[in-house]
């Protein structure tokens, strides 16, 4: 392995593969090292990818990408232990395409694109450390092997082992990350279409608030793949600790909720996985994204936007990889891989949607830390609508039911303030 590359990339997720794809297209000599036994083996997410960034970069994207279904229905469901209230948007989303994909398959496909472009991706290699000479990164070590390069792009994902060694980021704090657990449930393609009233190739993205997280900060998700369903729960670590929630057990309760059970009763779980996800938006990004001979891209840099209604991580990771590659190409031409030279990466990010999106929703993470959105509102909404739709001898008007349910739990003033804050910031 004692060969020298133009660039070494740590991690074959969307960020690392995006960087490798661009660098290979520039004609640079690039290698991606991935600790998983195959590309995609370690990659876990919820289920949906936004297209814009991929379509711009890979012209054949629509023809080739392993799309399970195109999202045609967006749903938000508020749940208590027995009931569920769902808001559904049905649309062709032609100007705002997103698709449901299995991330491991998607990254495997991206890996193939890298190889077709002339890049090298080597799975089964865990990078242990960085090689530094006079404070400048010159390569990596993996076991007894040493590998040298002009520059290292660290795209290792949420566990910042290499980034910490480079002095670029600290461990995440419990309020900055959430843990997600996910099951993939086998169910026939026709059953998916029938249950969700979908045509061939159409999909549903369903987010949940309330009961799925045992009313802790976070949410549930359900995505319709072609002939499987991705079902999962994401909970912020500090909230799980405060509520003493065993995150691994909680998905069982979610699966057995009557609303979900009717959907999945004929299905059988075929896969189970868990992963961390950055939650803090702009505030979770380290002060420095580059050092002498190293750049950070993707989750390790905190480039994930969770604005409650949507989550974007894969496309932002890929884009940050592209921008890192662009910076490396310029540094290669200048023959200068110092921090000063690589700092144009930070400028490129600031001028891209990675930062403009995180900036636009910078108050979202604070708002999403408001427990009432997970505890009080799902419960009150389910209870009020249930009573309003329950017709005994005498039917009741909504307002007295609402007042009764709010008593001791929520003031009108707080509710109005929360609604205004949600509308302004999400």
Q: Which residues bind ligand FAD (CB under 6 A)?
A: 10-16, 33-36, 42-49, 126-127, 155-157, 161-162, 180, 182, 232, 234, 275, 277, 298-299, 304, 311-315, 317
Give bridge partners of residue 274 from the DSSP assignment: 181
Tell me how far apart the alpha carbons of residues 221 and 255 are, in angstroms, rounded to a whole number: 11
Tell me how far apart the alpha carbons of residues 192 and 197 are, in angstroms, rounded to a whole number: 8
Q: Which is nearer to ligand FAD, 309 or 420 (CB)?
A: 309
Tell me how far apart the alpha carbons of residues 152 and 6 are, in angstroms, rounded to a whole number: 9
Please measure the distance between the N-terminal and C-terminal CA atoms of the chain and give it in whole angstroms.
48
Rounded least distance, CB 227 to ligand FAD, Å: 19
Q: Which residue has tokens 């590659």?
A: 325
Q: Which is nearer to ligand FAD, 263 or 311 (CB)?
A: 311
Q: Which is nearer to ligand FAD, 234 or 401 (CB)?
A: 234
Q: Which is nearer to ligand FAD, 228 or 379 (CB)?
A: 228
Rounded least distance, CB 259 to ligand FAD, Å: 20
Rounded least distance, CB 317 to ligand FAD, Å: 4
Could you tell me the two tokens for 188?
Answer: 């026939």
Rounded least distance, CB 220 to ligand FAD, Å: 11
Q: Which is nearer to ligand FAD, 83 or 315 (CB)?
A: 315
Rounded least distance, CB 158 to ligand FAD, Å: 6
Q: Which is nearer to ligand FAD, 161 or 410 (CB)?
A: 161
Structural contact between residues 229 and 240, judged by C-beta atoms closer than 8 angstroms: no
Q: Which is nearer to ligand FAD, 13 or 284 (CB)?
A: 13
Rounded least distance, CB 43 to ligand FAD, Å: 4
Q: Which is nearer to ligand FAD, 264 or 305 (CB)?
A: 305
Q: Which is nearer to ligand FAD, 28 or 71 (CB)?
A: 71
Tell which residue, 113, 164, 168, 153, has the closest CA to residue 31: 153
Q: Is 108 in a helix, a strand, or coil? A: helix
Distance of CA 134 to the CA centre of its chain: 37
Tell which residue, 102, 110, 138, has the closest CA to residue 11: 110
Rounded least distance, CB 316 to ligand FAD, Å: 7
Structural contact between residues 123 and 142, judged by C-beta atoms closer than 8 angstroms: no
Rounded least distance, CB 324 to ligand FAD, Å: 11
Rounded least distance, CB 315 to ligand FAD, Å: 6
Rounded least distance, CB 290 to ligand FAD, Å: 16
Structural contact between residues 231 and 269, judged by C-beta atoms closer than 8 angstroms: no
Residue 290 DSSP class = E
CA distances from 68 to 38, 73, 105, 223, 338 (A): 21, 14, 10, 10, 43
CA distances from 294 to 338, 368, 380, 413 (A): 9, 33, 50, 50
Tell me how far apart the alpha carbons of residues 403 and 157 are, in angstroms, rounded to a whole number: 47
Work out whether the CA dihedral 38, 9, 329, 171 comes out positive or negative. positive
Q: Which is nearer to ligand FAD, 182 or 329 (CB)?
A: 182
Rounded least distance, CB 191 to ligand FAD, Å: 22
Q: Which is nearer to ligand FAD, 271 or 383 (CB)?
A: 271
CA distances from 253 to 23, 59, 145, 183, 340 (A): 46, 43, 46, 13, 52
Tell me how far apart the alpha carbons of residues 164 and 169 are, in angstroms, rounded to a whole number: 5
Q: Is 343 in a helix, a strand, or coil? A: coil
């Amino acid at each position: 392995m004692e060969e020298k590359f133009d660039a070494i990339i740590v991690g074959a997720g969307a960020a690392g593969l995006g960087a490798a794809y661009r660098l290979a297209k520039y004609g640079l000599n690039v290698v991606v090292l991935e600790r998983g036994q195959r590309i995609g083996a370690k990659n876990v997410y919820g289920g949906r990818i936004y297209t814009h960034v991929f379509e711009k970069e890979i012209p054949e994207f629509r023809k080739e990408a392993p799309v399970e279904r195109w999202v045609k229905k967006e749903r938000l469901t508020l749940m208590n232990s027995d009931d569920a209230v769902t808001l559904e948007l049905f649309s062709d989303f032609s100007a705002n395409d997103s698709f449901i994909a299995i991330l491991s398959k998607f990254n495997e496909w991206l890996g193939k694109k890298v190889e077709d472009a002339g890049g090298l991706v080597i799975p089964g290699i865990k990078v242990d450390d960085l090689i530094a000479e006079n404070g400048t990164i010159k390569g990596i070590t993996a076991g007894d092997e040493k590998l040298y390069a002009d520059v290292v792009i660290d795209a290792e994902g949420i566990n910042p082992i290499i980034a910490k060694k480079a002095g670029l980021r600290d461990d995440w704090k419990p309020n900055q990350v959430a843990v997600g657990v996910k099951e993939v449930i086998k169910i026939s393609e026709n059953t998916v279409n029938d249950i969700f009233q979908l045509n061939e190739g159409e999909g549903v993205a369903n987010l949940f608030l309330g009961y799925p997280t045992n009313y802790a900060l976070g949410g549930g998700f359900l995505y319709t793949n072609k002939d499987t369903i991705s079902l999962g729960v994401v909970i912020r670590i500090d909230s799980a600790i405060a509520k003493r929630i065993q995150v691994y057990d909680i998905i069982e309760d979610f699966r057995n909720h009557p609303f979900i059970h009717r959907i999945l009763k004929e299905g059988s779980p075929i896969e189970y996985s868990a992963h961390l996800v950055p939650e803090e938006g702009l505030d979770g990004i380290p002060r420095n994204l580059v050092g002498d001979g190293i750049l950070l891209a993707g989750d390790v840099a905190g480039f994930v936007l969770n604005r409650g209604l949507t989550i974007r991580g894969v496309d932002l990771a890929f884009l940050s990889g592209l921008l890192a590659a662009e910076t490396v190409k310029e540094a290669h031409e200048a023959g200068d891989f110092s921090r000063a030279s690589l700092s144009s990466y930070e400028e490129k990010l600031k001028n891209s949607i990675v930062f403009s999106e995180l900036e636009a929703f910078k108050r979202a993470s604070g708002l999403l830390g408001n427990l009432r959105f997970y505890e009080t509102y799902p419960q009150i909404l389910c209870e009020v609508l249930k009573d309003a739709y329950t017709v005994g001898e005498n039917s009741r008007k909504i307002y007295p039911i609402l007042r009764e349910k709010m008593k001791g739990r929520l003031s009108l003033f707080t509710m109005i303030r929360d609604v205004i804050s949600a509308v302004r910031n999400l």
